[in-house]
Amino acid sequence: MSQAVRAAEVWNPATGLWRTLARNAVRRGYHSSTLLLPDGRILHTGSGDGSNMPDERNAELFTPPYLLRGPRPVFADAPALVGYGSSFRLATDQAADIAKVSLVRLGSVTHAFDMNQRFQRLSFSREVGALTVVAPSSSNRAPPGHYLLFILDYDDVPSAAKIVKLGHGSEPTPPPNASPEAGFVVGCSGFTCTFADRSNDSDGDLSVWSWDFGDGSGSQVRDPSHVYGSEGRYTVTLAAVDDDGAQSVAPREVTVSGPEFPIALQAAGRATATKQFMDLVWSDCSNEATLVFE
């Protein structure tokens, strides 16, 4: 790390020469990352996970000098999707001052290398208040994906970028949302019934469970329990709603019987000099009864 190069450099494609710029404050080597941001600055971060190399859990932002030459061009929102070879319009009050339009692939850096990098200079025409820009015609040099779109004036001062997706025509229309299929099971013990959701959604996730227990009460819990006030047959309804708002309703009749009280039997033996007795005592019934066997 003592030999780390910290100076930034910029290459001039017209002259083929490199220009040395400012130095970063932190030595960064293995596992460092450098990314171009949409506002034109450079994010420089990371380093570590190597012999005698500290883990640098920090970041630096570098402002290239060409961002400070003067007012930056501005343009309105670009289209979200641009098809190969298509033309699209960029509204800007500085159309007459624009010299270049470029696409820069979003960065994907690992071990100091950006193997996702692509750069394309785009052809364009000017009109009052707008530019008409022609997208790359082939995916050979500009693979499908997301790019930073910049416009530059005659002093090579860039605008802030808009992110556009380059692809083959329009995006495929997603299939319509399928409604969920509501369902549940239930088990009752006396007046207490426990409900378990068995709904499913083939193309998403369920987000709401709305229960109507048939006696004027309900619940929003996915697997609720409910205590009824009396015996009877109740129509219980579950409405299941998915994360796109589609709903399915499942009704079911539930029979509630009164609580069953188990009868407990206790046996106790006793004896006298001439007799043996067995006392049987039933409890938890309407009347306690005792039978004695001699």
Q: Is residue 75 part of a domain?
A: yes
169 and 99 in one domain? yes
Same domain, yes or no, for 75 and 167? yes
Are 62 and 10 members of one domain?
Answer: yes
Question: pLDDT tens-digit profile of 51-88?
Answer: 677 888 899 999 999 999 999 999 998 899 999 999 99
Task: Check residue 261 and give its pLDDT.
Answer: 56
Instruction: Specify the pLDDT at position 46.
Output: 86
Q: Grade residue 285 by pLDDT with cuts at 50, 70 and 90.
A: low
Domain boundary among 143, 173, 203: 173
DSSP secondary structure string for all residues of the chain:
-TT---EEEEEETTTTEEEEEEEPSS---TTEEEEE-TTS-EEEEE--SBTTB-----EEEE--GGGGSSPPP---PPPSEEETT-EEEEE-TTGGGEEEEEEEEPP-EETTEETT--EEEE-EEEETTEEEEE--S-TTTS-SEEEEEEEEETT-PBPPPEEEEEESSSPPPPPPPPPPB--EEEEEETTEEEEEE--B-TTS-EEEEEEE-SSS-EE--SS-EEE-SS-EEEEEEEEEEETTS-EEEEEEEEEEPPPP-PPEEEEEEEE-SS-EEEEEEEESSSS-EEEEE-
Q: Is the pLDDT of residue 170 over 60?
A: no
For 125-140, the pLDDT digits (tens) are 999 999 999 999 999 9
Both 132 and 205 in one domain: the answer is no
Using pLDDT thresholds of 50, 70 and 90, give the confidence band for residue 259.
Answer: low
The residue assigned the tokens 């971060």 is 45
Average pLDDT, the chain: 88
Whole-model pTM over 0.85:
no
Residues 64 and 76 in one domain: no
Structural domain of 251:
184-256
Query: Are 152 and 117 in the same domain?
Result: yes
Nearest in space to 179 (alpha carbons), one of 278, 226, 249 = 249
Average pLDDT over residues 233-254: 95
Split at pLDDT 50, 70, 90, the class of 233 is very high
In a domain, 179, yes or no: no
CB 7 within 8 A of CB 23: yes
- What is the C-alpha separation between 160 and 241, in angstroms, rounded? 42
Determine, yes or no, domain membership for 178: no
Expressed in angstroms, the distance from the first to the final Cα of the chain is 102
Phi then psi for residue 221, to 5 deg, are -75, 145
State residue 63's pLDDT score.
95
Counting the structural domains of the chain, the total is 4
Same domain, 218 and 154: no
Predicted local confidence at residue 55, as pLDDT: 86
134 within domain boundaries: yes
pLDDT of residue 187: 94
One-letter amino acid at 170 equals: S
What per-residue confidence (pLDDT) applies to 283?
A: 66
